[in-house]
Amino acid sequence: MSLRDIHTPVLLDRCVELLAPALTREGAVFVDATLGMGGHSEAFLERFENVHLVGLDRDHDALRIAGERLARFKDRVTLVHTVYDGIADALKKAGVPAADGILFDLGVSSLQLDVADRGFAYSQDAPLDMRMDQSAGTTAADIIATYGEGDMRRIFERYGEEKLAGRYARAIIAARAETPIERSGQLVEILIAATPYAAQRSGHPAKRVFQALRIEVNRELSVLERAIPAAMQTLPVGGRMVVLAYQSLEDRLVKREFVKAAASTTPAGLPVELPEHAAKFKLLVKGAELASETERETNPRATPVRLRAVERLRSAK
């Protein structure tokens, strides 16, 4: 199967529509901060012949696959191996002063979910890895083997919003005392056994635990907390940014940063807003936009998506 068949970019037309006003000038720079297999980037390169792409990803496999997919645009493409909070350094490396349009498509990529031995999917037995960059860092198996009950409960509660966090942490501690937990199938069996029957009817017991482990392994929320304001700083006046989030923790963080940037800093009681206190950004969508019912039916990975977007109104100075 071709990449077009196995990877359908989420909310593609809406992303193009929102970013288009920022990408019409000659030499415009589009940053795909979460390149993945290059589906969004390919569409932007096709539709905007003047645009130069700077594509970021921490996953070497993603960079290789996207590089092959985008080879026909090679004169307009710079790919950088980095985590997306390194956007400013990536632009310097690419030799460009600013990003006119930026896209973040957060969460685990289709490539990572679909390749069983990456360990992201609880539906497939595989080594408990979950690293987006397999060349460095702690694996999910390391966390399961070394975290104490309190720390394990904390990440399940915080990053998975799991109500049975304590129960699951105790079950894992007990199980690992008998034998090392090194594969996703082992972990799934432990979680199912620890889940009351009534709770199993509300969804797969492993879903939120696997999400929590993935976020902890890749430090996703702490990276995102740095990345959003860092990316906004690279936008010139008229520059735009779109973020696609797939779970509430990410979306709340993005919302907080966008709302803060779009607010006036005029002190209470002043009769007029002074120019230096005017908002630096404006929100381009009301609240968070969802995928249409049609898109959710044809591309199930669009079901949880929440889209937010901003445009810079005035310089940071």
Q: How confident is the prediction along the chain (317 residues), in pLDDT tens digits per residue?
A: 455 555 689 999 999 999 999 999 889 999 999 999 999 999 999 999 999 999 999 999 899 999 999 999 999 999 999 999 999 999 999 999 899 999 999 977 665 555 556 667 788 899 999 998 887 889 999 999 999 999 999 999 999 999 999 999 999 999 999 999 999 999 999 999 999 988 777 788 899 999 999 999 999 999 999 999 999 999 999 999 999 999 999 999 999 999 999 997 777 666 666 677 788 999 999 999 999 999 999 998 899 999 999 999 988 76
Same domain, residue pair 297 and 225: yes
Judge if 22 and 83 occupy the same domain.
yes
Give the strand pairing for 240-245 and 306-312: antiparallel
Q: Are residues 70 and 88 in the same domain?
A: yes
Q: Are 18 and 283 in contact (CB under 8 A)?
A: no
For Cα atoms 45, 49, 55, give the angle at the middle one, nearest 5 degrees: 35
- Per the structure, the count of domains in the chain is 2
Instruction: Clarify whether residues 135 and 212 are in a common domain.
Output: yes
Both 9 and 71 in one domain: the answer is yes
Decide if 19 is inside a domain.
yes
**Phi/psi of residue 23, each to 5°?**
-115, 15
Judge whether 244 and 305 are in contact, CB under 8 Å: yes
Q: Do 101 and 172 belong together in one domain?
A: no
At 202 the pLDDT is 76
- In this structure, are 173 and 232 located in the same domain? no
Binding site feature residues: 38-40, 57, 84, 105, 112
Task: Please report, in range form, the residues annotated as the binding site for S-adenosyl-L-methionine.
Answer: 38-40, 57, 84, 105, 112
Residue 264 is part of a domain; what is its CATH number?
Answer: 3.40.50.150
* pTM score, whole prediction: 0.89
- Point out the domain boundary residue: 218, 243, 263: 218
Q: Which domain holds residue 152?
A: 117-218
Task: Specify if 317 maps to a domain.
Answer: no
Same domain, 84 and 178: no
307: Cβ–Cβ under 8 A, 6 or more apart, which residues? 11, 14, 15, 242, 243, 244, 245, 285, 288, 289, 290
Which of 218, 239, 262 marks a domain boundary?
218
The residues, any chain, with a CB within 8 Å of residue 289's CB and separated by 6 or more, are: 11, 14, 306, 307, 308
Read off the CATH number of the domain in which 208 is found. Answer: 1.10.150.170
Residue of 213, 108, 112, 123 lying closest to 160 (CA atoms): 213
Residue 110: inside a domain = no
pLDDT at 133: 87
121 with 99, same domain: the answer is no
pLDDT at 269: 65
Whether 146 is in a domain gets the answer yes
d(CA 247, CA 145): 26
Say whether both 197 and 158 belong to one domain: yes
Say if 262 falls within a structural domain: yes
Backbone angles phi, psi at 243, to 5 degrees: -125, 130
Residue 299 lies in a domain: yes
Q: At a CB cut-off of 8 Å and minimum separation 6, what does 189 contact? A: none
- Specify whether the CB–CB gap between 11 and 295 falls below 8 A: yes
